[in-house]
Amino acid sequence: MKLTLETQIIPKNATVIVGVSGGRDSMSLVHALLKQRKDLTIIPAHLNHGLRIDADEDAEFTIGMMTRWELNCELYKPRAAKAGNIEEWGRDKRYEFFTKLAKKHKAAAILTAHHQDDDFESMMLHFLRGTRVKGLSGMQFQREEIVRPLLYTSRNEIDEYVEKHEIPYREDPSNADDRFARNFLRNKIIPVLNHVYPEMAAKWQGQKEYWLELQEMLETSAAVFLQEFLDKKEGLHRAAYKQLPFPIRATVLELWYRESTGERVPDSTTLHRWDEAIITFNSRKKTEWHKKTFLTMSKERAKIQ
């Protein structure tokens, strides 16, 4: 199993934070780093989300294995989420933790163990839920400080590597629960599709550059538009907005929302509702934007209040 981690991506003798759950993928990533990039200072990072009964056992196993491999593991156990999307909460807490560690250790990068099949599953989920171009482009190999060295490695290759090197790991029992959409897709749907279209994930990944470049074009066009037609006090110029094709309008709204709230657009339905509100003028109607703020209309402008 060859890591995609040349020195132009991570320079020699750098420090890296590595997200380690104790599962097969992250354990194989740490093992491969120790074999293939001996120059690196590796800081394993484990977030104990406390969402499963055996979460503490996962943490103990991970710390024990990292100690066995002569690595000092950083551990964090956040307060349990009170409500909302648990999966999103876990992801946000994980990356908050990794980012803090990267600053603490002056790390060159944060490495995660997402692989080719994870990438394909994410794209399929986005597609089935009704995505735009961004969802079809999948995960990026490198985004800011986050690097995914296994992104072009299949699950089968990882399995073979783990078996060959007899790497211990923890199995998450929830992965077998087909009530979760990703698990149902992984365990039931994708095997059938692979029977008809072998190596489907690898073939799709070969098209990623097209979707990534298309998304970059949309974001560039949207950023240029916002620079010219969004005034922080007066709001968005409606007439200019209405002249844009919908893919650029959608990206304009995504960038505007992210800039004003620091968060992602909740879903496609919300985005379409905002778009319709701006296109079809109604001065008396307020459309919810974020928490206690609203999107309001005048004849010329759309404004957040």
Binned at pLDDT 50, 70 and 90, residue 117 comes out as: very high
The strand pair at 109-111 and 74-76 is best described as unpaired
pLDDT at 67: 97
The strand pair at 235-237 and 301-304 is best described as antiparallel
Strands (E), the chain: 15-19, 41-47, 74-76, 109-111, 142-143, 146-147, 230-231, 235-237, 287-290, 293-297, 301-304
pLDDT at 84: 61
Percentage of the chain lying above the pLDDT 90 cut: 55
- Whether residue 107 is predicted with pLDDT greater than 90 in this model: the reply is yes
**Which one, of 229, 303, 217, lies nearest residue 260 by Cα?**
303
Dist. CA 208–CA 135, nearest whole Å: 11
Give CA angle at 126 (129, 199), nearest 5°: 125
Binned at pLDDT 50, 70 and 90, residue 85 comes out as: low
**Which one, of 114, 103, 110, lies nearest residue 143 by Cα?**
110
Give the domains, in start order, of the chain with CATH numbers.
15-203 (3.40.50.620), 208-304 (1.20.59)
Binned at pLDDT 50, 70 and 90, residue 173 comes out as: confident
pTM of this prediction?
Answer: 0.81
Question: Which amino acid does the sequence have at 229?
Answer: F
pLDDT at 82: 61
- Whether residue 285 is predicted with pLDDT greater than 90 in this model: the reply is no
Mean pLDDT across the stretch 209-230? 93
Question: Which amino acid does the sequence have at 78?
Answer: P
Both tokens of 83, joined, read 């409500």
